Amino acid sequence: MPQSTGSNPDFPTRLSVDEARSRVLELCASRRLPAESVDLDDALGRVLAENVIAPHDLPPFTNSAMDGYALRGADLPAQGERRFRVAGQVLAGAGDAPSFEAGACVRITTGAPLPPAADTVVIKENVTVDGDAIVIAAGERVGANVRPAGEDYRGGETALRAGDLLTAARLGVLASCGFARAKVARRPRVALFVTGDELVPPDRPLGFGQIHDSNRYSLGGLLRGAGIEPEPIAHLRDDPDALRVALREAGERCDLVISSGGVSAGEADFLPGLVTELGRVHFWKVRMRPGMPALCGEIGGALVFALPGNPVSTIATFLMLVRPALRALQGARETGTRSWKARLAAPIVKKHDRAEFLRASIVTHDDGALWATPLRSQGSGMLRGVAEADALIVVPEHTHELAAGAVVEIMPLPGLC
């Protein structure tokens, strides 16, 4: 049998959410993953491991922002109209640009290099074509529709920073700088276990006392949404010997071990004792609802997160503790979940002193204000509430009542944006 944690364990219990997350981030700071170089095609969602310095101006040359006619701004008419001879044209990708004299112009397309003599582009919709000339009326602005060299980034400027998450736009920045590869943190190696004798796969009929395994898919989906492909997910029965072997082996080969179920104080809740026996528990139980029994520890070289088995508790503790750990291990500068502010559409009353994360729908009123409505399905085993929710309303620990119209913090759920 696994070692008992006892009534007075030698590790912290019942931490606040903020303290638990701070301890997780401290643990991850000393476990930063090494860097590797990857093709840009494989870099989406990865975390940069070094600063990126623009090797040249972006754009590298002054160019036209619109299709039109490039000319000297000093030649524009102050009143009335003026006729300009069209001396040639320059297209995007051109190797050079034609020169022209005062009172003339060149036809130009978007992105084409501006001729040395020009400083202004008049869009083609604002000119009248007359044979090999155009007519421009007064009112055009000097310097209009021109993108200067270095308008976006100057050569030598820091374009991206170590710890930046590589979004689609940031991949575009790397490519614009002429980089085909990026130095990024290695993705964490993650083992995911779902535990419980009551669980059966979705494609099997239910027997007495059985439920279909949903945590395999919700946790697996959250990991993949964070850019992590876990090892093949294992379903482990409530057998301490089987759990012991799986945990020990995963701790030897992985950076992170995540489990769901078996972490509370019941007769079949073996995880706290096993983590104590095989490694170390950093904390157990967090003052949050849902999700209080969550445990953080380590076995071998891996951090261990033993999460509650109730489906909503599993999701909530992953968002509060595991996702920040995944980001911190990769050196991300932003590890937390972004929060917004909204007004409550209905009052909230809670009787406990834990922080609560209520599932809510979000609507935007005509004045631009966000309004959050707590959903009826708030039980920790009720996936419907999460499936129908847009965000979590954060109710602080010692707040017991919030009136309708009160401003609250909300955390968008993955997939909302």
Residues 304/251, Cβ–Cβ less than 8 Å: yes
- Does 90 map to a domain? yes
Residues 396 and 347 in one domain: yes
Question: Smallest Cα–Cα separation from 186: which of 10, 42, 367, 9?
Answer: 42
- Does 196 map to a domain? yes
Q: What is the dihedral of CA 146, 149, 152, 156, to 10 degrees?
A: -170
Residues 192 and 307 in one domain: yes
Q: What is the DSSP string of 235-256?
A: EE-S-HHHHHHHHHHHHHH-SE
Residue corresponding to tokens 């499936």: 387
Please say if the pLDDT value at position 13 is more than 50.
Answer: yes
| Total domain count, the chain | 4
pLDDT category, 4, cuts 50, 70, 90?
A: low
pLDDT category, 186, cuts 50, 70, 90?
A: very high
Residues 97 and 200 in one domain: no
Classify residue 88 as exposed, middle or buried by CB count within 10 Å of its CB (0-12, 13-18, 19+): middle
pLDDT category, 6, cuts 50, 70, 90?
A: low
The domain that holds 230 is classified in CATH as 3.40.980.10
Please say if the pLDDT value at position 71 is more than 70.
Answer: yes
pLDDT category, 372, cuts 50, 70, 90?
A: very high
- Does 417 map to a domain? no
Please say if the pLDDT value at position 113 is more than 70.
Answer: yes
pLDDT category, 9, cuts 50, 70, 90?
A: confident
Residues 313 and 352 in one domain: no
Question: Smallest Cα–Cα separation from 258: which of 316, 303, 201?
Answer: 303
- Does 175 map to a domain? yes
Q: Which helix (H) or strand (E) holds 199?
A: strand 199-200
> Cβ atoms within 10 A of the Cβ of 250, count?
24
Please say if the pLDDT value at position 3 is more than 80.
Answer: no
- Does 97 map to a domain? yes
Please say if the pLDDT value at position 271 is more than 80.
Answer: yes
pLDDT category, 314, cuts 50, 70, 90?
A: very high
pLDDT category, 63, cuts 50, 70, 90?
A: very high
The domain that holds 84 is classified in CATH as 2.170.190.11
Rg (CA), the chain: 30
Residues 127 and 218 in one domain: no
What type of residue is 327?
A: R
Rounded to the nearest integer, the mean pLDDT of the chain is 95
Residues 223 and 299 in one domain: yes
- Does 6 map to a domain? no
* pLDDT the model gives residue 337: 78
Please, what's the b/e burial string for 381-398 (b: 16 or more CB within 10 A of its CB; e: otherwise)? ebbebbeebbbbbbbebe
Residues 48 and 136 in one domain: no
Rounded Cα distance between 168 and 172, Å, is 6
Residues 6+ apart with CB under 8 A from 198: 209, 210, 211
pLDDT category, 5, cuts 50, 70, 90?
A: low
Question: Smallest Cα–Cα separation from 10: which of 271, 280, 269?
Answer: 280
Residues 194 and 308 in one domain: yes
Q: What is the pLDDT of residues 315-360, one digit of tens each?
A: 999 999 999 999 999 999 999 878 999 999 999 999 999 999 999 9
Compute the average pLDDT of residues 239-259. Answer: 98
Compute the average pLDDT of residues 245-262. Answer: 98
> Cβ atoms within 10 A of the Cβ of 12, count?
15
- Does 334 map to a domain? no
Please say if the pLDDT value at position 415 is more than 80.
Answer: no
* pLDDT the model gives residue 215: 96
Please say if the pLDDT value at position 265 is more than 90.
Answer: no
Residues 27 and 100 in one domain: no
pLDDT category, 220, cuts 50, 70, 90?
A: very high
| Phi/psi at 396 (5° precision) | -60, 165
| Phi/psi at 150 (5° precision) | 75, 10
Of 305, 329, 353, the one marking the end of a domain is 329
Q: What is the pLDDT of residues 381-408, one digit of tens each?
A: 888 988 999 999 999 999 999 999 999 9
Residues 78 and 179 in one domain: no
Q: Which of helix, strand or coil describes residue 357?
A: strand
- Does 245 map to a domain? yes
Of 295, 329, 363, the one marking the end of a domain is 329
Q: What is the residue range of 164's domain?
A: 39-56+154-185
The domain that holds 354 is classified in CATH as 2.40.340.10
Residues 320 and 405 in one domain: no
Rounded Cα distance between 310 and 324, Å, is 21
> What predicted TM-score, i.e. pTM, was given to this entire model?
0.89
Residues 325 and 407 in one domain: no
Q: What is the pLDDT of residues 22-51, one digit of tens each?
A: 999 999 999 999 999 999 999 999 999 999
pLDDT category, 379, cuts 50, 70, 90?
A: confident
Of 329, 356, 383, the one marking the end of a domain is 329
Compute the average pLDDT of residues 55-77. Answer: 97
Please say if the pLDDT value at position 95 is more than 90.
Answer: no
* pLDDT the model gives residue 417: 45
Please say if the pLDDT value at position 298 is more than 70.
Answer: yes
pLDDT category, 96, cuts 50, 70, 90?
A: confident
Q: Which of helix, strand or coil describes residue 103?
A: coil
Residue corresponding to tokens 């060299």: 149
* pLDDT the model gives residue 300: 97
